Amino acid sequence: MITVTALGICLPRKNNRGQIVTLVVITALLTTALCIIRDVDRPFGGIIDVEPTAIAEAERQATRDFTTNHPLAELPCDGEGDRRGA
């Protein structure tokens, strides 16, 4: 945003067609980059939609390994992921 503002302020008043085109292109590229970053940052929704199957499989394996190695112990959290009482 600072780059776009600085470029906009520094534009000459006459014969500025090239500078305006450059400003528009840079603004479009920066906006596109921010939109892509926002979409990738939210993997379970948006254009890039990732199903949580890998996370569910890792949870299942961790639970299986814990119960195999500690048959008398109880999982430290409940089904919602909240810590059980101390």
pLDDT digits over 22-68, tens only?
Answer: 889 989 999 999 988 888 887 767 666 667 788 888 889 988 998 89
Say if 4 falls within a structural domain. Answer: yes
Domain limits for position 41: 1-72
Say if 19 falls within a structural domain. Answer: yes
Say if 6 falls within a structural domain. Answer: yes
Q: In the prediction, which pLDDT does 46 show?
A: 67
Say if 81 falls within a structural domain. Answer: no
23 vs 4, residue with greater confidence:
23
How far apart CA 76 and CA 29 sit, in angstroms, is 47
Structural domain tally of the chain? 1
Cβ atoms within 10 Å of 39's Cβ, excluding its own: 14
